[in-house]
């Protein structure tokens, strides 16, 4: 019996060891697979990040307080420099103006001294093709265990197309603003409730209000009540066709007298996806005065003709 017990115990021990060995091998294999999968994901993510930086024209850099600097491959491509060039502010100084480099260096020094973000936008000239490009350079200070700055790390992005687009947009806006302000006819922008949002000087001359005063008004404040039905017709045309007019009405001048005007307008959709109305406003006072004189002259002629006929009779 004792021998059988010892054999049974030995069997159990051996079986347990074998099971533990299988479990250990299984767990090790599982851990290896997980590690391989994780490493593959990290490699894929790093490759994706590299491609993103490459196609988005973004380069990574870092500079330690002792001047030691690292540039990613994309940095050399952005700068149009040979990979053999030593990375660092000195190399950067060769592709930008002295004025921009001075601002760049001052921003770096200030970041290290204060911990504030490094930021500068400037123009560079790439030696590889002599192209002038605009870059956006940003960096954040990294502190050591004692809370002292020991390096700045950041990114540089080529923003040439964005800069050119912004400059063109600004130039276009400046031209539009100049045309808007100097136009000989009144121009006004209002929202769906009639609030005046933008008006030019010619429009202000028609209604007699200042620019600040006009922005407190709606077109209903300027319109006599008797035009309500005609206004509804024009608003229906604006909603269904996208435009209204030509339409003659009168505005109430600030001093109370009525100003005859000719209106045309179009509906536009703003960047907030809301509808707005641009209107052109012509002061037709002179034309109306001529029409009144012509009618008066015609009436006088009719009276003269009538008197001559009576004389003949």
**pLDDT of residue 92 exceeding 60:** yes
**pLDDT of residue 5 exceeding 80:** no
105-158 residue pLDDT tens? 999 889 988 888 999 999 999 999 999 999 999 999 998 888 888 899 999 999
Least confident of 85-94, 208-217, 257-266, 290-299: 290-299
Mean pLDDT, the chain, whole residue set = 81
- Could you give the percent of the chain with pLDDT greater than 90? 47
pLDDT for res 41: 57
pLDDT band at 3 (very low <50, low <70, confident <90, very high): very low
pLDDT band at 13 (very low <50, low <70, confident <90, very high): very low
pLDDT for res 8: 46
How large is the average pLDDT for residues 163-186?
76
- Could you give the percent of the chain with pLDDT greater than 70? 76
pLDDT for res 291: 76
What tokens does 79 get? 């700068």
Using alpha carbons only, give the angle 165, 117, 137 rounded to the nearest 5 degrees.
35
Domains with residue ranges and CATH for the chain? 57-165 (3.30.450.20), 183-291 (3.30.450.20)
pLDDT band at 38 (very low <50, low <70, confident <90, very high): low
**pLDDT of residue 251 exceeding 70:** yes
pLDDT for res 229: 92
Q: How many CA atoms lie within 13 A of 207 on its CB side?
A: 26
Least confident of 170-174, 254-258, 289-293: 170-174
Q: Which residue has the tokens 């480099």?
A: 101
How far lies 298's CA from each of 287, 292, 304, 305, 306, in Å?
16, 10, 10, 10, 12
pLDDT band at 100 (very low <50, low <70, confident <90, very high): very high
**pLDDT of residue 18 exceeding 70:** no
Q: What is the pTM of this model?
A: 0.50
Tell me if 265 sits within 8 A of 235, measured CB to CB. no
Tell me if 96 sits within 8 A of 181, measured CB to CB. no
Q: What are phi and psi of 96, to 5 degrees?
A: -135, 170
**pLDDT of residue 47 exceeding 50:** no
Strands, DSSP E only, in the chain?
A: 58-64, 69-71, 118-125, 132-143, 149-158, 186-191, 196-199, 243-252, 258-269, 275-283
């Amino acid at each position: 019996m004792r021998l059988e017990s010892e054999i049974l115990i030995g069997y159990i021990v051996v079986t347990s060891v074998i099971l533990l060995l299988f479990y250990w091998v299984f767990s090790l294999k599982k851990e290896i697979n997980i590690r391989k999968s994780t490493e593959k994901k990290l490699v894929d993510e790093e490759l994706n990040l590299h491609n993103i930086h490459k196609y988005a024209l973004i380069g990574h850099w870092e500079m330690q307080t002792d001047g030691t600097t690292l540039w990613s491959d994309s940095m050399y491509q952005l700068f149009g420099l040979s990979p053999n060039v030593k990375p660092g502010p000195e190399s950067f100084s060769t592709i930008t103006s002295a004025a921009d480099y001075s601002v760049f260096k001052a921003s770096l020094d200030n970041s290290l001294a204060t911990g504030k973000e490094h930021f500068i936008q400037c123009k560079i000239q790439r030696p590889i093709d002599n192209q002038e490009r605009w870059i956006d350079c940003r960096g954040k200070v990294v502190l050591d265990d004692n809370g002292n700055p020991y390096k700045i790390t950041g990114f540089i992005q080529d923003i040439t197309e964005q800069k050119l687009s912004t400059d063109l947009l600004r130039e276009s806006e400046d031209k539009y603003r100049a045309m808007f302000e100097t136009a000989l006819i009144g121009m006004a922008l209002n929202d769906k409730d009639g609030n005046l949002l933008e008006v030019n000087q010619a429009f202000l001359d028609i209604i007699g209000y200042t620019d600040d005063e006009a922005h407190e008004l709606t077109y209903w404040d300027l319109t006599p009540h008797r035009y309500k039905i005609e206004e509804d017709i024009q608003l229906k045309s604006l909603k269904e066709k996208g435009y209204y007019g030509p339409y003659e009405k009168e505005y109430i001048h600030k001093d109370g007298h009525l100003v005859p005007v000719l209106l045309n307008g179009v509906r536009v959709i703003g960047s907030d996806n809301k509808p707005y109305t641009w209107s052109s406003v012509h002061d037709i006072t002179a034309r109306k005065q001529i029409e009144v004189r012509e009618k008066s002259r015609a009436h006088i002629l009719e009276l003269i003709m009538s008197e001559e006929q009576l004389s003949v009779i």
